[in-house]
Amino acid sequence: MGARIGVVGSNMVDLVTYIDRMPAAGETLAAPSFAIGHGGKGANQAVAAAKLGADVMLVSRVGDDLFGGGTLRNFQELGIDTTHVRAIPGAQSGVAPIFVEPSGENRILIVKGANEHLLPADVDAAAADLARCGLILLQLEIPLETVYHTIAWAAGRGIPVLLNPAPAVPELDVERILGATFLAPNQTELTILTGLPAETRAQAEAAARSLVARGVKQVIVTLGGDGALLVTAEGPAQHVAAVSVKPVDTSGAGDAFLGAFAQHYVAHGDTLAAMRWGARYAADSITRPGTQKAFATAAEFAAFRQTLGEA
Ligand code: RIB
């Protein structure tokens, strides 16, 4: 298994407003603070893995506006291979207005912009480099056809794929994602995909099993404060506990989990150990505001694990 990680996915500029509460319709409300940061589910997962020391390549599209150059520079400064990150003439960069409540809970809107222009042909253009990857990460902030095409291409070459079906879209064709090695939804996404409740661990397992019954190989359900669950056709579900921390901002926690999971998985090939690693990395990330800027480096993560008595 190659140790390189490929991410075929989105990037956004996060426009984060920290609020006391959401305003009602027609109401104007002052909010305590605001921050701009680099985000997008694909980019976040790439950055988490890169910050932990993984060799990461990204296939993505930015706008030719104010944000595009900064986004590209950010990837380069983090050591991510940007050979296949291009600007789309005339397109705006993806942006994500995010609202974070005092509890750390977040609400996110996305305007995909240039991410809509990442097409199957762009994956073909990156194929020689993607073929060297030990794992490819996908999310749903790019066109669905590009997601299906990447899965089919990777499955034909025996390259493992992890699909994070986020944000969940009911029109996702499960038949066309069966080539993925892992499907990794959160509870909300699992409910949208299956039509089944997934609020409790037992419900999440039942909903994940309904996907396994349809041919999905391995479902990793991220359960927020309850950790994560691995459901496959073999044996009982396996649960990985969360680490308890005081949340400041939960935005990007799922991406932190998956980026760290990917970095550990390509290095060791142990799914449950990679889930435990991801759960710890995500817990650490929610103790700081923001998405990518809240993600720890390998040294910072080692220090966090030391506080848990683990490093
Ligand atoms: O998962 C968090 C991310 O979702 C944010 O960074 C935002 O850009 C949206 O893509």
Collapsed DSSP state (helix, strand, coil) of residue 156? helix
Q: How does residue 66 score in pLDDT terms, banded at 50, 70 and 90?
A: very high
List 14, 249, 255, 284, catalytic entry: 255
State yes or no: pLDDT of 2 exceeds 70: no
Whether the per-residue pLDDT at 1 is higher than 80: the answer is: no
Topology of 4-11+40-85+114-307 in CATH?
A: UDP-N-acetylmuramoyl-L-alanine:D-glutamate ligase (3.40.1190)
Kindly report the backbone phi and psi dihedral angles of residue 115, in degrees, each rounded to the nearest multiple of 5, phi listed first: -60, -25
- Say yes or no to pLDDT of 115 above 70: yes
Q: Token pair 């980026």 is at which residue?
A: 259
Residue 272 pLDDT more than 80? yes
164 band by pLDDT with thresholds 50, 70 and 90: very high
CA distances from 201 to 135, 225, 252, 299 (A): 27, 11, 21, 33
pLDDT > 90: percent of the chain: 98
Among residues 175, 166, 171, which one has the least CA distance to residue 220? 166
Q: What pLDDT, on a 0 to 100 scale, did the predictor assign at position 58?
A: 98
CB 59 within 8 A of CB 40: no
Residues 123-143 pLDDT 10s = 999 999 999 999 999 999 999
Ligand 1 contact, 71 CB (< 6 A): no
> What residue segments make up the domains of the chain, in order of their start?
4-11+40-85+114-307
- Residue 311's pLDDT is 72
Is 304 within 8 Å of 296 (Cβ atoms)?
Answer: yes
CA angle 285, 94, 116 (to 5 degrees): 120
pLDDT > 70 fraction of the chain, expressed in percent and rounded? 99
Output the pLDDT for position 142.
Answer: 98
Q: What is the dihedral angle through the alpha carbons of 181, 47, 131, 146, rounded to the nearest 10 degrees?
A: 70
Q: Identify the pLDDT of residue 20.
A: 97
List Cα–Cα distances, 244 to 65, 132, 291, in angstroms: 40, 37, 19
Q: What is the dihedral of CA 41, 47, 52, 56, to 10 degrees?
A: 100
Residue 64's pLDDT band (boundaries 50, 70, 90)?
A: very high
Distance (Å) of CA 123 to CA 178, 190, 266, 283: 19, 27, 21, 33
Could you report the per-residue pLDDT of 216-263, keeping only the tens digit for each? Answer: 999 999 999 999 999 999 999 999 999 999 999 999 999 999 999 999
Q: pLDDT tens digit string along 6-59?
A: 999 999 999 999 999 999 999 999 999 999 999 999 999 999 999 999 999 999
Measure 288 CA to ligand 1 centroid, in angstroms. Answer: 15
Which is it for strands 182-183 and 161-163: parallel, antiparallel or unpaired? parallel
Taking CA atoms only, the protein residue closest to ligand 1 atom 9 is 40
> Which ligand 1 atom sits nearest the alpha carbon of residue 106?
2
State the Cα–Cα distance between residues 114 and 88, nearest whole angstrom.
Answer: 6
- The CA–CA distances, whole Å, from 277 to 59, 114, 270 equal 25, 32, 11
Residue 96 confidence (pLDDT) above 60: yes
Contact 123, 43 (CB under 8 A): no
- What is the C-alpha separation between 140 and 153, in angstroms, rounded? 17
Whether 14 is catalytic is no
| Ligand 1 centre distance from Cα of residue 233 (Å) | 31
Given pLDDT bands bounded at 50, 70 and 90, which one contains residue 189?
Answer: very high
- Closest residue CA from atom 7 of ligand 1: 40
Asked if residue 291 has its Cβ within 6 Å of ligand 1, the reply is: yes
Q: For residues 162-190, give the mean pLDDT.
A: 97
DSSP state of 153: H
Cβ proximity of 115 and 33 under 8 Å: no
Distance 158 CA to ligand 1 centre (A): 29
In short, whether 38's Cβ falls inside 6 Å of ligand 1 is no
> Which pLDDT does position 172 carry in this prediction?
96
Average pLDDT, the chain: 97
